[in-house]
Amino acid sequence: MLGLALIPLNAYWVILSEFRWYLILTLNPVFVTPVFFLLVLVIVNAIIKVMRPAWAFSIGEMLIVYIMLAISCTIATHDFVINLMTMNVFGPWFATPENKYQDLILQYVPKWTMVWDQHSLKGFMDGGTSIYRADMIGPWLVPLAVWIGFMLVLFGVMLCLNVMIRRAWIDETKLSFPAVRLPMAMVGLDAPKFYKSKLLWLGIALPVISGTLNGLSALYPMIPHINTRAHFPVFSGPPWSLMTVPYAFYPFAIGLGYFVPLDVLFSCWFFYLFVQGQNLIGWPLGLTKLPGFPYQTEQGMGAWAAYGVLILYITREKWQKVLGSLWNQRKLDDQDEMMSYRTAFYGVVVGIAVLASFWHAVGMAIAPAVGTVVVYFMLALCITRVRAEAGSQHTAWDLEPKNIFGLVDSRLIGRGNVIAAGLSHWFWRLNRSHAMPTQLEGLRMWQSAGHKPKELLWPMVAATVVASIAGPWAVLHVAYTEGAARKCVGFANWTGYEAYGWMANAFTGGWQIQWPRIIAALGSAGLTLLLWVLQARYPWMWLHPLGPAAGNFLIWVWCPFMIAWAIKYCIVRFGGQKVHKTMVPFFLGLVLGDYVTGAVWSIVSQMLKIQGYEIFH
C-alpha cells in the first residue's frame, strides 16, 4: 500500500524535474528517486524500531517499496512516457505547408494514435490552463487508453520473459547484478554493519561536498566548484576534432563500476574508444569523407544483433527444456516462479501477436510487424543481460525499425511500414530506462532477502498499472499548467524531429542501399562472435563480447568506467579480495552520496523554480 501510494508522488517528482526543468533523474541503471525514498524509509524505520518495534518494516517490505518505485521510474521517465506524450502531439501541432507533414504522413496515420484537437493541443503547448476540463482531457482519452494498453502488453511480455530466464541468470549463472548492490546494502542485506562503516561515510562525503559546491556555484558563480560532469574538449582540427571523447568523473558511475567484473569493465570503455579511434585511422585514408563514417549506429546494430543471438544460444538448453516439456506435457519445476513456465510461454506468444497486430493496424505489413516486435524483445534480453553483467548506463536504439529500414532502398519499404517505424521511435529511443532489467533486478533482490519469486508478481503488476496511469497524468498536469513549448525545458521535441524528419525524408529524397553501412554492421557482428569464441577458449582475455554493444555509445560514462577499472585492478592486483571487499562500502557511498545530492538539488530547484544543478548528463 505504501508503494502504491508513493508511485504518483514519485511520477510527479520525476516528470516535474525532467519534463519541466530537464533535471535528469532516471537515465542510469539505479534511479535517483527510489534510492532517496528508500533512504528516508530506512531512517524512519530506525526511529519506529525504537518507539514501536512491532510497527517496523521488515527487509522484504522495504524492498517491495523500492522495487515498485523503481518499476514506476521505467515508465515515468525522460526516455519513455515523455517521449510518448511528445509523439502524441508533435505531428498535429507542428505540421505546416513547408514541412508537408500533413500530406506526407498525417493523412495516413490512424486517428486513434494521437491527439488532433487544436484547442486541446494549444492548452498542452501554451499552458496556463487545467487538464481537469472536459474540453482539454477529452481528446486525450482514446489515444491514452490505446497507448496505456500497449504499454501494459509490452511490460507483460517482459515479465513473462524474465520468468523464463530467472533461474538461468540468477540461480545458475549467478551474474553480478551491480545495480542491486546499493539498495540491498541499504536495507541490511550483504552488509549488516553498512551504516557503521567509516569508509561508507567517506564515500558519501566526497560527492556531497562536490555536489553542494557545484550546486551553489551554479547559483553564485563566485563560489568555487569541482566539476564532475562531462566536459567535451575542443580540438582545432581533424583528425582529433572528429572524435567525441568527453571526460567526466561522476561519483555514482565510478561507484557502480567497482562492482562490474574487470573484463566487462575494461571492454565497456575500451570499445567506446575503439569506435572513436576509427576516425584517427580513417582520416588519413580518406574514409571520413564517406557519409556516416565510422558508421557507429550500424556497428551498434551488428553488435546488439550478434549479442542477442549469443544470448539465445547460451541459454538454448533452458529454452529446449521448457519448449520440450510444453510439447510433451511434462511437469516442470516451476512452482516457486512468479507464474508457470507454460503461462509465461503463452504470455510471450500472445503478447507478441497482440503487439504485431497493433502495428499492423497502424499500417505496417504483417511480416515486418512480427519481425520488429521479435527484434525488440531480443534487444530487451540483450539490455537485461548487459545490466546484469555491467550495470552500466547504456544507449541502445541501433536495432529500431527506422535504422534497420535505413539499410535497404527506401523505395522497397512501403508507406505504412515507414509510418509505423516512425511512430514507434518513442519507445525504441535509447532504452536507458528499460523495464525488463529492472524487473529482473527486483527478482534478484527479492530472492536475496529469502523470499519466493511468486510473492513478487502482484506488487510488480500493480506498480506497472498504477505507473502507466500516473506517468501520463503527471506529464499532462505539468504541460497544461506550465506549457510544454513555453516553459518545459525537457519537452522532447527532438524525438518528434527525429521521427518526422526521417519519415519525411523517406517520402521525398529517400535513400538507396549503402554497402559500407551493411559491411560495418556485419563486421561488428562478426567481431562480437569472434570475441565470444576467443573468450571461451582463453578465459583470461579481457575483451568481453558485450563490449562492442555496450561500449559503442557509452559516451557519458566511459571515462568513469575507465577510472573504476584502474582502481579496481590495482586493488585486486596488490590488495587481493580482502581489500576489495573492505572497500565495498566506500564505493557504495559514492553512489549514495551522489544520488542524495542530486535528489536534494532537484527538490531545491523546483522550490526555487530554477533549472538548478544536476549530477548527470
> 131 by DSSP, 3-state: which?
coil
Q: Which amino acid is at 17?
A: S
In angstroms, the CA 224 to CA 162 distance is 47
pLDDT at 18: 95
**What is the sign of the dihedral through the CA atoms of 101, 148, 21 and 616?**
negative
Mean pLDDT lowest among 6-15, 435-444, 550-559: 550-559
Average pLDDT over residues 146-159: 97
In angstroms, the CA 195 to CA 205 distance is 13
**Does pLDDT of 140 surpass 80?**
yes
**Does pLDDT of 219 surpass 90?**
no
Cell of 236: 582545432
pLDDT at 484: 96
**Does pLDDT of 227 surpass 90?**
no
Over residues 113-132, the pLDDT tens digits come to: 999 999 999 999 999 999 99
In angstroms, the CA 248 to CA 243 distance is 16
Between 246 and 336, the higher pLDDT residue: 246
pLDDT at 309: 94
CB 80 within 8 A of CB 397: no
For 317, the enclosing helix (H) or strand (E) is helix 316-328
Over residues 70-119, the pLDDT tens digits come to: 999 999 999 999 999 999 999 999 999 999 999 999 999 999 999 999 99
Burial class (CB in 10 A: 0-12, 13-18, 19+), 23: buried
CB 596 within 8 A of CB 208: yes
Average pLDDT over residues 536-554: 90
**What is the sign of the dihedral through the CA atoms of 106, 107, 111 and 113?**
negative
**What is the sign of the dihedral through the CA atoms of 312, 318, 321 and 325?**
negative
- Of 246, 218, 179, whose CA–CA distance to 615 is shortest? 218
In angstroms, the CA 308 to CA 317 distance is 16
Q: What confidence tier does 237 reach under pLDDT thresholds 50, 70, 90? A: confident
In angstroms, the CA 252 to CA 269 distance is 16
Q: Which amino acid is at 296?
A: Q
Average pLDDT over residues 436-463: 95
Instruction: Sketch the domain layout of the chain as residue ranges.
Output: 2-213+296-509+584-608
Burial class (CB in 10 A: 0-12, 13-18, 19+), 47: exposed
- Of 615, 616, 605, 559, whose CA–CA distance to 20 is shortest? 605
pLDDT at 394: 75
CB 157 within 8 A of CB 377: yes
Average pLDDT over residues 332-348: 88
- Of 102, 103, 94, whose CA–CA distance to 124 is shortest? 94
Q: What confidence tier does 392 reach under pLDDT thresholds 50, 70, 90? A: confident
Q: What confidence tier does 250 reach under pLDDT thresholds 50, 70, 90? A: very high
Q: What confidence tier does 390 reach under pLDDT thresholds 50, 70, 90? A: confident
Cell of 289: 569523407
In angstroms, the CA 554 to CA 105 distance is 34
**Does pLDDT of 494 surpass 90?**
yes
**Does pLDDT of 151 surpass 80?**
yes
**How many residues are listed for the chain in this entry?**
617
DSSP H helices, 220-315, are 251-257, 262-285, 296-314
**Does pLDDT of 511 surpass 90?**
yes
Give me the chain's average pLDDT, please.
Answer: 93
Over residues 450-471, the pLDDT tens digits come to: 999 999 999 999 999 999 999 9
**Does pLDDT of 332 surpass 80?**
no
- 140-171 burial string, b = 16+ CB within 10 Å, else e? beebbebbbebbebbbbbbbbbbbbbbbbbbe
pLDDT at 334: 81
